[in-house]
Structure 1
Amino acid sequence: MNLRKNILSALLIAIGYILHQIIPGTIGSMKFDIMLSVIFVSLYINKDFKNALVTALLGGIITAMTTTFPGGQIPNLIDKLITCSIVFLMIKATEKLPKQEIVRGVISFVGTVISGTVFLTSALYISGLPAPFSVLFFGIVLPTSVTNIFLTALIYQAAKLAMKVSGAKFVQE
């Protein structure tokens, strides 16, 4: 494992923590999960399953600590573990495709939809939902999915520049 990539992943998670902390709860106290963008970029930087699990655990713990969703701690952990595993597999399956910037956008969108669906479903069964599933899905998950397309692209480019400046090898385009 490349130490520079691990350090950058840790810095990304720290940035995700700050962003998640300042995002206010909206419908049913559910937040836009901006942490997912930094998680996805971390998975692109370190294409290793161990990194995916560590990133999932760190992201899940941090979002659980900063959630405003009633009873959202355990659903955050479940959602990040499942989402990171699926997104890791999607990244591995699509890494040879052309137009990687489009692929990253699609994976970011789909990954966020998966995350929101898993979160809401697990919250529904564990603690209940403060608003109907469809309201939370269409009011929070889908707008967050669209937002994360652009945030992931922005954060990816920033991470790519940081890796170039540090002299570390970045992922192949």
Structure 2
Amino acid sequence: MNTKNLVLMAMLVAVGAALYLIIPGINGGMKPDFMLTMMFIGIFLFRDVKSVFILSLATGVLSGLFSTFPLGFLPNIADKLITGFVFYVVIKSFKSIASNLIASTVLVGLGTLLSGFIFLSVAIFILGVELPFLVLYATVVLPAVVLNGIAFFLIKPIVTKILERSSFHKPVAN
């Protein structure tokens, strides 16, 4: 892993953190997790286990630190690590689909669904936070799927074009 890739991953996570901080909360302060969107973009760009681990862990820790969810630190870390590696396996398994923007956006939506399920499951069932799973899933996770999909659809081509024009990163071979 080279320093340029680490810097780019850090920039993606930082942009995700900035978006997370400026987006207003919905349903009692819960926020869509745009750090998740940036993590997905990072996984598309850096398709190796070390990068996925670094992106997932960094995104999970920052999401946990900024979380407005009760006891949200550990669920965020678990959620990002599991979601990141599942997403990575899907991307590696379906390389041809991953190169299509529409298909990639659908994968991001499915990844957001998985992320929300894991986060709420860990928070409610393991930590014992008493909140209604289905209500939170419908009012926070489903809108986050739409917002993350739109954000990904708009941001990924911009990041890809910038990287193609610079010597900063060599595009991943599909």
Q: Give your verdict on TM over 0.5.
A: yes
Aligned to 1:128: 129
Query: Quick check: 2:109–2:148 contact (8 Å CA) kept in 1?
Result: yes
**Gapped regions of structure 1 (runs ≥ 5):** none
Give the Å deviation of 1:165.
2.6
Could you tell me which residue of structure 2 aligns to residue 79 of structure 1? 79
Residue pairs, 1:12-161, within 5 angstroms: 12-97=12-97, 100-125=100-125, 126-129=127-130, 131-161=131-161
Q: Deviations over 1:106-131 (max 9, x none)?
A: 110110000000000100020414x4
TM-score w.r.t. length of structure 1: 0.91
- Quick check: 2:98–2:104 contact (8 Å CA) kept in 1? no
- Mapped contact 1:79–1:115 kept (Cα < 8 A): yes
Looking at structure 1, the residues matched to 155 and 66 of structure 2 have their Cα atoms a distance apart, in angstroms, of: 21
Aligned residues: 172
Q: CA deviation at 1:7?
A: 1.9
Q: Is 2:112–2:144's contact at 8 Å kept on the other side of the alignment?
A: yes
Aligned partners of 1:41 and 1:156 also within 8 Å: yes
Letter in structure 2 aligned against 1:93:
S
Q: Distance in 2 between matches of 1:172 and 1:77?
A: 29
Shift of 1:97: 3.4
Q: 1:69 to 1:24 in 2, by over 3 A?
A: farther
1:169 aligns with 2:156: no
Question: What are the superposed Cα offsets for residues 16-59 of structure 1, whole Å, 9 maximum, x if unpaired?
Answer: 11111222332243211111110000000100011111111000
Q: RMSD of the TM alignment (CA)? A: 1.7
Shifted more, 116-125 versus 89-98: the winner is 89-98
Name the CA distance, whole Å, in 1 between partners of 2:50 and 2:11: 17
Moved more, 24-33 or 148-157: 24-33
Query: Matched residues, percent identical?
Result: 34
Over residues 78-100 of structure 1, what are the superposed CA-to-partner deviations in whole Å (9 max), with x where a residue is unaligned?
Answer: 10011001000111111123861
Contact persistence 2:91–2:98 (CA under 8 A): no
CA distance in 1, matches of 2:29, 2:90: 30
Which deviations, in whole Å up to 9, do the C-alpha atoms of 1:120-161 show, x marking residues without a partner? 0100020414x4111110111011112211211222112112
**Does the 8 Å contact 2:56/2:80 carry over to 1?**
yes
> What amino acid does structure 2 have at the position aligned with 1:46?
F
